[in-house]
Structures are given as C-alpha cells and as structure tokens.
Amino acid sequence: MVWIRQGTLVALAECRLQVATALWRAIVLMSAALAVAVTQAGLAQYTRRQIQVDLLVAQRDQTAEHGQHAVNGFQRDEALRVIRRPAPLSVLVGGLDTRLSQYWDFGPEGISAGATVSGQPLVSVVSADLDLEFILRGLIGLLAIAAGFGSMAASRPRGPTKSLVSLPVRPSALVAGAMAGGTVAVAVAAAVVIGSAIVTLLAGDATLVSSDAMWSLLLIWLVSMWYGVALVGTGAAVAVLVIDTSRALAVATVLWLLATTLGGPLAGALAEGISPSQSRTLFEVSRNAEYQESSLRVETDAGRIVLEALGATDVPAGFQLSGVLLERVAQHWDRSLATLRRRLDQLDTDFRHKEAARAANAWWVGVVFPGTAFGSALSEVADVGEAAAHRWIDDGEAYQRILSAAVFDMRTRLVVRLQSGSRSRVVFHDRGPRPTVGELPAFRQQKATAGTRFSDAAPSMLVLTLQGVVVWLVAIVAFMRRPSGKTRWL
C-alpha cells in the first residue's frame, strides 16, 4: 500500500507537470485542429460514398423489378448483387473500409467482387491515410515518447515531481509513478483529440454518433491509452539507458519513426517478400475462364449423348428432349455441375488460404512495431479492420452456397450443344419455371457488437500490453541499477 501511495503521488505530480509544458499543449492543439479537419474531410467522403451506394441500389432494384425478375441460373445476375454501405466510423478511421469491395455479384462461377474506393489490396498493413488513427498514432505517439523521455531526463526543469526525489520514496515507485503520470497526460491528450472529432461529427451529421458509435469511440480512447503505455515506457527506457543526451534524443527519434511511421511499410514489404500478394481480379478472370471452358465441355458432352442415343449425326429442326433421353441429359448436367462446383470451391478455398497466409504474415511482422499493432486494434474497434472485412467475405461465401444450391447447381434450363462437323447448334430445354429474386433467400449480414469488436482487437491489444510491460520493466530495472551519480533524472 505504501508503494501504491508513493507511486500515485508521483504520478499526479508528473501528470500536472506534463500538461503544463509547452510541448504538450502545442501537440494537443495541433492534433485537435487536425482531428477537426480530417473529420470534416471524412464526412465529405462518407457523403459521396453514400450517394454512390444509393445509385448502385437503384440500379439493382431496377434490374430486380421489385423481386419479380427471373434468375436463369447460368450466368451472373446483377439482380442478386449485395451492396455494402460504408461503415459509419470510417469517417474517423479509414482502416480497410475503402479497400473492401463496394459490392459483390453472384453467379454459377462464384463470387465476383466489385470495385473498391481506394483501389488498394485488402491487407492488414497500416495505411498512410490522413485520418484520426494517423493523428493518434503519429502525433500522440510523439507526445508519449516525449513524456516518457522527459520524465527521466537530466535537464528536467524544476517541478513537483523533481522535488519528490529528496523525499523517502522508493526508487521503483518513483520511476513507475513518473511513467504512469506521463501515460495519464497522454490519455488526457487523446481524450481531447477524440472529443474534438466527436464535436465535429455532431455538427456535421449527428446520426453517426449513435450509442454504438460512442462505445466504439470509448474503445478507441482505451486503445490509445494502451498505445501510450508502450511508448511512454519506450521513451523512459531510452532516457535511462542512454547517458548522452544528444544520443538519447537521436535514439528516441528513430524509435518514434519505427514505431509510428516506418513500421507499417516495413511490415508490408516483409510480408510481400514472404508471401507475395495475388490479384483478386486476375484470379476471377482465371476462374471464370475455367468455368466457361468446363460449361462448354458439359454442353458438348450432352450433345454427344443425344446423338449417340439417336444414332444420328444431327437432329431435325424443332427437336425437343423428352422421356428417357431427357432424364439422361438431366443426370449428366447434375453430375457435371456437382463436379464443377467442387472444383470451383477448391479454387476459391486455395485463394482464400493464400490471402489468409499473407494477412497473417503481415500481422505477425507488423505487430512488432507498436504503431502497427495500434492501427490494427483501432481499426478493429471502429469495425473497419480485418475481422470486419472477413465477416463480409464470409457472409458472401455463405450466400453463394445458398444460391448455388437453390438455382446455380439446379438449373431449370438444360443446354445441349450438337456438334456436326464444323457446325454447332444449341438446343435448350426448360424443365421448370425459373425462380424469381423474391423467391430466393435474402442475404444475411453478421452484426458486430461493441463486445465483438473489442474481441477482434484483443490480439493487437495483447501485443501492445506485452510491449508496454517489457519496456516498463526495462526502464524500472535500469533506473534502480544505475548508480546515483549517473542517473539521468538527477
């Protein structure tokens, strides 16, 4: 209890000293002003994206004819298109929201992803977009390292914390309390910046500030404080370990750049080297080409079955399938479609596994850097991270399976391609009415609660926690072991 009281006393004194510095005030004012500007820019982009979505919805509804449009089952149909609206908090934190497709089309060959807003690949590397996450990661990160460094610096101006050195305070309580005070000062700064963004949101579009959004904003502040713990400890450890002031400042600057700015690009380059990314567009072109070739082969084989059964090289005009011959052709189509579906599903699975492997490599490489772990956690709590993207993709795959079972793999129209020499003729047979859009199951989207988003961010927050524990222990142990004559803080 004595240690806690001593540490609390030091922390309160340190916090008061930190918030009174010109550096703290300058960074907080600059960050708050930038937060207002980027929030206004985010609102403008959000409005434009909503207009684009409304146009896509109108086009789809026109094609669907109020649910009366009949789906033929042998080609992609825009009436089945699933359209994604931008996440509300993408106004503040871009994350992967602009890298995720705006819509998905469904057909017998599989899912076809629509265009993205940014045109960038869907990877879990922190982007360089100027948003609230960038401000918290960069400027508040700078403030955190400076707070940790300043709490241990030898050139510290006279203040309430320094006066406590002469009191009977345990060294461990002294250094832990100083770093805790710096962390509280960083948490206050983050609250001011996030509060500025909230006020701007309320002025621009109050509907975005729902109760769920407020929970997410609270989680954003919590993640920011966790991030501050790691960087305050980093700055303090540098101040204690490096005796020379100029070298200590240089080391702290390099660590700030690595932690907040350079970590993401380095992680992306390393992940790309370990497992090169694949183009979704090229994959879909290759998959669709295989589907077309396989479909043509099935049609030709069906024609061969008909000609062999009739013992002829051609059929008369107006020929119609019926009886046993119709049953044989239908069985051939059903078996062939089942085999083709397994092949297409395997191609999709292989592509997803490669994407998942690259995303995992990028995450494991990236979380070494606190800024990358922070960006990942912040994106998750704002519902614009990798988990949110995978929820959309998983829901799309589930809907594709439903449509495949309902219409794509149980076609009402059979196609028979009769090949006679160099001539080719196509015979159709409709074995039932085509289902309408209104008769097919509707797309269902998973809803993520605040608890779900916090769980999504838990791995990255755990990494930040471990980083914070390590650097705090290093700073405390180094401070206690350093001879008093060489202590930078005195």
pLDDT of residue 186: 94
**First CA to last CA distance, the chain:** 26
CA distance to 16, 21, 105, 204, 240, per residue, from 248 (Å): 24, 20, 56, 44, 9
What does the pLDDT read at residue 311?
76
Question: Beta-strand (E) ranges in 16-163?
Answer: 77-83, 103-107, 110-113
**Measured distance CA(456)–CA(92) in Å, rounded:** 18
Is the dihedral angle over the CA atoms 184, 36, 464, 379 positive or is it negative?
positive
- Select from 92, 91, 84, 88 the least CA-distant residue to 122: 84
Residue 107, beta-bridge partner list: 110
Task: Please count the structural domains in the chain.
Answer: 1
Give the model's pLDDT for residue 220.
95
Residue 16 near residue 180 (C-beta atoms within 8 A):
no
Q: Within 10 Å of residue 302's Cβ, how many Cβ atoms?
A: 24
Query: Residue 403 has what pLDDT?
Result: 92
pLDDT of res. 119: 56
Give the model's pLDDT for residue 485.
39
Residue 458's domain comprises 1-490
What pLDDT score was predicted for residue 125? Answer: 45
Tokens coding 214: 């407020």
Cβ within 8 Å of residue 465, ≥6 positions away: 226, 229
HEC states along 196-264? HHHHHHHHHCHHHCCHHHHHHHHHHHHHHHHHHHHHHHHHHHHHHHCCCHHHHHHHHHHHHHHHHHHHH
pLDDT digits (tens, 9 = 90+) for 62-97: 888 877 888 888 888 889 999 999 999 999 998 888
Q: Which two tokens stand for residue 444?
A: 């269902």
Q: Walk along the chain (490 residues) in steps of 10 and give the mean pLDDT of each run.
A: 78 87 93 95 94 93 83 86 93 89 91 75 58 92 90 52 57 82 94 96 91 92 93 89 82 84 71 70 86 89 85 74 85 89 88 79 75 90 91 92 88 81 76 86 88 92 91 87 50
pLDDT at 122: 56
In whole angstroms, give the CA distance from residue 373 to residue 363. 8
In this prediction, residue 38 carries a pLDDT of 94
